[in-house]
Amino acid sequence: MHEYSIVQSLLDQCEDNAKANNATKVMKVVVKIGVMSGIEPDLLQTAFDTFKEGTVCEDCEYIQNIQPIIIKCHKCNQESTLEKNEYCCPHCQSIELDVIDGEDLILMQLELE
């Protein structure tokens, strides 16, 4: 369960941002979790709820936005959102593509007080 180490890193980022902005509390944390990130959103939620106690995030609202896979096809140059983990262009069926979103966990927003 690497979600626990991910949450520790996320909480460290929140602490650093709060200090850099002279804030004493984080009121809201918004993260984007790509479906290909290898992160289980439910486990991340549980880990966040467990480890936020005693931090600047203790009373914050935690929001997870799940990012689907977005690809760009080299053959037809179309960007598409994949509904399944089938890595081919839905327009031309080519497998020559790049994944342009849906692989990462990103801290998107913090509301500080």
Output the domain CATH number for residue 38: 3.30.2320.80
For residue 66, the enclosing domain spans 3-112
The answer on pLDDT for 1 being more than 80 is no
How many domains in the chain?
A: 1
Structure tokens of 56?
């600047």
Structure tokens of 39?
């992160």
Interhelix angle 41-51/3-20, nearest 10 degrees: 50
- pTM of the complete model: 0.88
Q: Pick from 57, 48, 50: which is nearest to 14 by CA?
A: 57
Cβ–Cβ under 8 Å, residues 98 and 74: yes
Over range 62-79, report the average pLDDT.
97
pLDDT in tens, 92-103: 999 999 999 999
